[in-house]
């Protein structure tokens, strides 16, 4: 077994490790594409994808905005160094006070609910071009193979077909001469055609309502950091080709909100084999990692992985399982692979999205997180201990300010 650099210095598994070089490449790919194709633009990061404070602080240092979808994420972004005018406030659950503060202090605020519209009606003394509307596109404009929820449509934003979008536009126009437009599609393919369809839908809305558009926010869901897939250049060029027909790209700002495309390919989860047993049907390999850590919604069908073992014997089938007592905590079945033994390692690659800050603390708690740079490894999150877990869930007799005040 050839030891990895972090293995050789005795890091305890399981742990996540962020490959800083890959993270930088993912950021640079988007920044270069935006600067070359739509210079009046701003790269933003979807905080929900991975809200690790180290990561948010690092992205802030790279002049990237924070895209948030709750009051908690908004306040976390500020705690990590973002000022209001570097935050995009999305989602349907905004609180009144923070909505007003965000508008007042220059955050981009995209209204997405009836409550947001009520808040807007009460904000007539706040005037600016930092307010926009989330559009709920008609799913029929997409190829059915590219999207989910074709039958029932999308959850977010206001629909033009029902008249709710027109009502939202009229309300926003009471506090601003211009309107921002926010679009996003839950695409299962991340196909460039999805963004072309979104941009075409936006052009129809702009023409129909003769809108003066202050900004276009095309959401996220892009590929990034994966060889052979659509590149940031290709996405941004396709978006511009459509939208420049109806807007002046020098005056209208473009926002994009990648999440997985920034952090997904830059993270590995390193786990160890803790038990191997042969049943009447299978070879069961239990590890100190879990599907909860890298697939908390239990949707993935496979992982990019590598094995560290000294064993050259190959066996036909091994079922890789997690540490939980749930029988369905089975990460994958590996076939015709080297036989695994206690102490061997399984490393899962490209697992930075919806993982280290998304999975719950079930049975075992959050693991360590490290960042690997060229010449060193930095420890950026301690694993949660029993005492840490206890303190989080047992506030009796403790100062409530520790948990409930910012």
Residue bearing tokens 């904000």: 123
Coil/strand/helix, residue 347 = strand
Nearest 5°: the CA angle 99, 100, 102 is 65
CATH fold of 51-258 reads TIM Barrel (3.20.20)
Q: Going by C-beta distance under 8 Å and a sequence separation of 6 or more, which residues neighbour residue 318?
A: 282, 283, 284, 285, 333, 334, 335, 337, 339, 340
Q: Give the class (CATH, top level) of 5-17+264-393.
A: mainly beta
For residues 347 and 300, give the distance between their C-alpha atoms in angstroms, rounded to a whole number: 16
pLDDT per residue rounded down to tens, the chain (406 residues): 344 445 545 799 999 999 999 999 999 999 999 999 999 999 999 999 999 999 999 999 999 999 999 999 999 999 999 999 999 999 999 999 999 999 999 999 999 999 999 999 988 777 789 999 999 998 888 888 888 776 788 889 999 999 999 999 999 999 999 999 999 988 888 999 999 999 999 999 999 999 999 999 999 999 999 999 999 999 999 999 999 999 999 999 999 999 999 999 999 999 999 999 999 999 999 999 999 999 988 888 889 999 999 999 999 999 999 999 999 999 999 999 999 999 999 999 999 999 999 877 899 999 999 999 988 999 999 999 999 999 888 876 555 555 445 5
What are the domain boundaries of the chain? 5-17+264-393, 51-258
Tokens of 111: 């209204």
Cβ atoms < 10 Å from Cβ of 4 = 17
């Amino acid at each position: 077994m050839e030891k990895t650099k972090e293995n050789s210095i005795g890091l305890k598994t399981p742990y996540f490790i962020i490959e800083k070089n890959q993270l930088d490449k993912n950021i640079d790919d988007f920044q270069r594409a935006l600067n070359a194709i739509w210079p009046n633009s701003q790269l933003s990061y979807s905080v929900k994808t991975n809200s690790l404070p180290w990561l948010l602080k690092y992205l802030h240092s790279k002049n990237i905005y924070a895209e948030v979808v709750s009051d908690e994420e908004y306040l976390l972004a500020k705690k990590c160094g973002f000022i209001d005018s570097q935050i995009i406030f999305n989602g349907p659950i905004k609180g009144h006070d923070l909505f007003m503060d965000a508008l007042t202090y220059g955050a981009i605020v995209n209204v997405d609910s009836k409550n947001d519209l009520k808040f807007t009606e009460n904000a007539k003394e706040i005037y600016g071009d930092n307010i926009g509307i989330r559009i709920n596109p008609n799913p029929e404009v997409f190829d059915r193979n590219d999207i989910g929820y074709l039958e029932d449509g999308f959850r977010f934003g206001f629909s033009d077909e029902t008249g709710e979008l027109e009502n939202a536009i009229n309300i926003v126009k009471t506090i601003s001469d211009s309107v921002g437009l926010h679009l996003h599609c839950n695409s299962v393919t991340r196909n460039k055609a999805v963004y072309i369809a979104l941009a075409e839908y936006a052009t129809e809305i702009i023409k129909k309502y003769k809108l003066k558009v202050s900004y276009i926010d095309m959401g996220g869901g892009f590929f990034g950091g994966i060889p052979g897939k659509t590149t940031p250049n290709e996405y941004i060029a396709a978006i511009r080709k459509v939208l420049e027909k109806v807007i002046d790209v020098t005056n209208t700002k473009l926002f994009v909100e990648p999440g997985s495309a920034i952090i997904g390919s830059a993270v590995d989860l390193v786990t160890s084999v803790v038990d191997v047993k042969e049943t009447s049907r299978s070879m069961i390999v239990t590890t100190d990692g879990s599907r909860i850590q890298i697939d908390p919604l239990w949707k993935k069908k496979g992982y990019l992985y590598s094995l560290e073992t000294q064993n050259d014997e190959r066996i036909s089938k091994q079922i890789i399982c997690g540490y939980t007592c749930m029988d369905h905590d089975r990460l994958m079945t590996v076939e015709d692979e080297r036989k695994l033994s206690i102490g061997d390692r399984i490393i899962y690659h490209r697992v930075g999205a919806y993982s280290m800050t998304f999975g719950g603390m079930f049975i075992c708690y959050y693991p360590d997180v490290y960042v690997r740079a060229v010449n060193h490894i930095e420890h950026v999150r301690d694993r949660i201990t029993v005492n840490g877990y206890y303190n989080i869930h047992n506030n009796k007799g403790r100062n409530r300010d520790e948990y409930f005040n910012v």
